[in-house]
Structure 1
Amino acid sequence: MTPFESLGLKHDGRTLWVLDQTQLPDAEVWLDGSAPEDMIALIKRLAVRGAPLIGVAAAASLATCAARGASAAEYAAACAALRAARPTAVNLMWAMDRMKAATDPGAEAQAIFEEDVRLCEGMAQHGAALIQEGEGILTHCNTGGLATAGIGTALGVIRRAHEQGKRIHVFADETRPLLQGGRLTAWELSKLGIPSTLITDSMAALLLRDGKVQRVLVGSDRVAANGDFANKVGTYGLAVQARFHGVPFHPVAPFSTVDLACPTGAAIPIEERDPAEVRGHGRLRWAPEGMAAWNPSFDVTPVELVTSLVLDRGVYSAGQLRSGVLARVCG
């Protein structure tokens, strides 16, 4: 493979390194993700995360495995195991299906990386055109360079609007699980110099009520054929609040996140994580030991609550999505 580098991933031609996102914002630690079994562990514990980056990282790990002399059977087994590492983000399956069919794994992984960079640029271009001078923008989870090979999805749009001098202010939800907005989005916003404020997820409605937010931008881990989409848990509630307060609500995603085989959001599998993340554990436990807890990583927002979907290929209204436009532009 040709060496490459992004905010959370780099390949020096021999070894694949990933930035351990569980240790941000306090420490920037790079881990070896060359072996597929190691990459699977990193993906499962969210050291590597973000729907596009998961697909890119898994492809790069598989290509590195092949370059190190894996047999055809070992390659196929690794591909299948990586594909199953997380159930909701469809980019992982999309990338592994490409790698399974590839005659040159290194070239295919490189193509997947470079394509994601281009897709991020397309989303940024289309999405930034929606943002007006001086807007307050609310975002959820992490959707920047840590989640992609390029500048990001929703946060890439925000970054481009900031670079255009639109004097925006970003409100970042802290976001469960693992407070990815507080640890990761706040870290990226600080590095980019974008004026921003961190809030808890339960504060969003107050900002919307008080007119401090003029637009909501979120990412997506899977978009169904009708425009319903899955994103980090809390997105559905945010969409309901935005609709009530008359604030535009936009998911932002590359075409690789669209799953045309999934007719509606009801068919999207939702990953559930360890209840200890809700209760806390050890000295950081804040709920009674043994208390029942529910911890889905994602929820599904119906297309009826979407103002428009920002893709790398354009911006599509809820009406267009319900009419089947995704089959035409992503098929």
Structure 2
Amino acid sequence: METTSTQSGSVKFFTDTLKDYYELTKPGITLSVVASMLIGFIMGSAGSLNYVLMFHALLGTYLIAAGTSAHNMFMERGLDGLMHRTSSRPLPDSRISSQNGFIFSTVLIFAGLAYLLAMVNVVAGIVSLATTIIYLFAYTPLKRISALNVFVGAVPGALPVVGGWAAASGTVLEHGMWILFGIVFCWQVPHVVAIAWVCKKDYEHAGFKMLPKNDRKGIKAAIWVILPMLILFPTVYKLFVMDLVSWIYLSGSLLSTAAFLYYGLKFAIQRDISTAKGVMFSSFAYLPLIWIFIFLDWIIL
């Protein structure tokens, strides 16, 4: 019985450790990066999809994105311990040591970069490396300095679609990829501002400056939410004008953008936690819906 109990305990320890390392990669964010890369790859393939190359791009992107997220957790482990919503993460909770977190994240980053360079192309590798560098060494430290980090952070957030297009085409000079970049960039700004508003006390306690200074009434935050949403309308429409998508995408994307703006306007009027949550939850749905409409467009037509 003791042997069986010991084996059971060992198995549980192993599975719990795996779960902790998996949590370190921020699975939701990492899968969102991979999904964006995939859409960029599909759009950049111009109707001729190379499934083997797509697999390599997916795997390489997953590795470097997971490593980047894990390294962000390593860099912010002390600050995460100060916030209620992040204090139970593996590093601040000491379920994974700082040294192991550093090694794990660094190995993933370099493994993903090497894989992309070897199995996809140099351009895709450079885009992914730029994404990692901006995220870790510009956005992450800027979060404690200025609310402008929201705009800086939107750059690496939007680069995965460029990386996907580059993986398929070998270039970053095509107009369509930067329209996709613009869609993700304009989506991410209100998305982050809404989360910052909902988690305002937590962020302030940790010393993060996620919202504008001297904005007690939330006027600046409302502008940051509404303006990118308005820019989304001509941006999503531009893909249709360029004949890269059909009416399936156009109708779905415009309706989704209108719904997103509706929640943004409610926040701009009331500027409270309830309406900020409306923007936050609608932002969770918005980008996946845009990708679904592009994917449906590609499948059907």
* TM-score normalized by the length of structure 1: 0.26
Higher strand share: 1
Higher helix share: 2
* TM-score normalized by the length of structure 2: 0.28
Higher RCO, Cα 8 Å, sep 6+: 2
Larger radius of gyration: 2
